[in-house]
Amino acid sequence: MDLNLKGKTVLVTGASSGIGLAAAQLFAQEGCFVIAGYRSNSDAAKSLLRKISDGGGDGIAVHLDLGNMTSIQNCVATITARVRTLDAVVFNAAFLKITPFDEIGEDEWDETFNVNLKGNFFLLRALAPHITDGGAAVFVASVAGQMGAPGHAHYAAAKAGIINLMKSAAKRYASAIRVNCVAPGVTLTPLGADAIKHADPNYAQRMLLSRRYAEPNEVAKVIVFLASPAASFIYGATIDANGGRELR
Ligand SMILES: NC(=O)c1ccc[n+]([C@@H]2O[C@H](COP(=O)([O-])OP(=O)(O)OC[C@H]3O[C@@H](n4cnc5c(N)ncnc54)[C@H](OP(=O)(O)O)[C@@H]3O)[C@@H](O)[C@H]2O)c1
């Protein structure tokens, strides 16, 4: 199947690690110009761009801190100075702090919501006018946002917010942009490793039909599909990539 992504321009936030990194590489393999968002790991972003260039592709890295409104504005200014339009944006970046329900403080709650939810809203609003008609936005939520997670209730609530924000955005932009969401289960990335460290060691065996955790690439493929014209009739959907979590 042709995903029809050749020559498209795609922004992936959180492209310096994990699922975002895998998605950025897949987009490049499909012939996209990749704008790779990173926050702290500029070396990983540079190394990604070298890999893309070695593979015959092209892209740029852009700094973005979703917890900082000025950084969001600067990121949008950098992007719009460099490219005329975007064909797809992947709202992937997030962080996870594992803190028991009864120990989450106000600052940690606010930081989680600022980065994982509020920043994505304002980034979407600022970028939407620059996304081409027929383009796509893909949010990355989490199974935690669907089922709750007492070990990281703030993260789970923000991710539930992402699923709902995606639906509002799908309605708001329906005439021009398809907006969708992928909800991964535990995935083998630095963020996922932290979750695994705090989980029951038999969690995958016990709770997942897959009996194993996801590789970043397995989630990235869903993202790339949703961002592509191949998903032309999918609007406002949340696609689970969780190894069958709810069925066990
Ligand atoms: N891994 C899992 O088990 C899992 C499960 C469900 C959902 N998810 C979701 O999947 C997405 C990707 O997660 P991942 O597992 O790939 O995580 P990861 O490997 O830890 O990567 C997180 C990425 O987000 C960036 N980031 C962190 N804080 C940021 C901020 N304030 N502003 C902008 N960028 C920021 C990081 O940039 P720097 O490294 O440059 O700082 C990094 O590129 C997230 O939305 C996560 O919630 C993951």
Q: Is 140 in contact with 184 (CB distance < 8 Å)?
A: yes
Per-residue pLDDT of 117-136, as tens digits, reads 999 999 999 999 999 999 99
Nearest-angstrom CA–CA distance, 116 and 93: 7
Nearest-angstrom CA–CA distance, 90 and 35: 10
Domain residue ranges in the chain: 9-247
**246 pLDDT exceeds 90?**
no
Nearest-angstrom CA–CA distance, 7 and 87: 9
Nearest-angstrom CA–CA distance, 81 and 35: 12
Reported as a pLDDT band with limits 50, 70 and 90, residue 107 is: very high
Q: Is 147 in contact with 125 (CB distance < 8 Å)?
A: no
> Ligand 1: does its nearest atom lie under 6 Å from the Cβ of 182?
no
Domain 9-247, CATH homologous superfamily name and number? NAD(P)-binding Rossmann-like Domain (3.40.50.720)
Candidates 154, 152, 158, 111; CA nearest to 139 is 158
155 annotated active-site: yes
Mean pLDDT on 202-225? 97
Q: Which of 12, 13, 17, 163 most suits a substitution to test ligand 1, by most atoms within 8 Å of the C-beta?
A: 17
Reported as a pLDDT band with limits 50, 70 and 90, residue 16 is: very high
> Ligand 1: does its nearest atom lie under 6 Å from the Cβ of 17?
yes
Mean pLDDT on 183-191? 98
Nearest-angstrom CA–CA distance, 81 and 113: 29
pLDDT on residue 138: 99
Token pair recorded at residue 135: 């383009």
**247 pLDDT exceeds 90?**
no
> Ligand 1: does its nearest atom lie under 6 Å from the Cβ of 195?
yes
- Output Rg (C-alpha) for the chain, integer angstroms: 17
Per-residue pLDDT of 38-87, as tens digits, reads 999 999 999 999 999 999 999 999 999 999 999 999 999 999 999 999 99
Nearest-angstrom CA–CA distance, 97 and 111: 10
Q: Rounded to the nearest whole angstrom, what is the distance from the C-alpha of residue 139 to the centroid of ligand 1?
A: 12
Q: Is 138 in contact with 184 (CB distance < 8 Å)?
A: no
Reported as a pLDDT band with limits 50, 70 and 90, residue 248 is: low
Nearest-angstrom CA–CA distance, 239 and 227: 12
Nearest-angstrom CA–CA distance, 58 and 201: 41
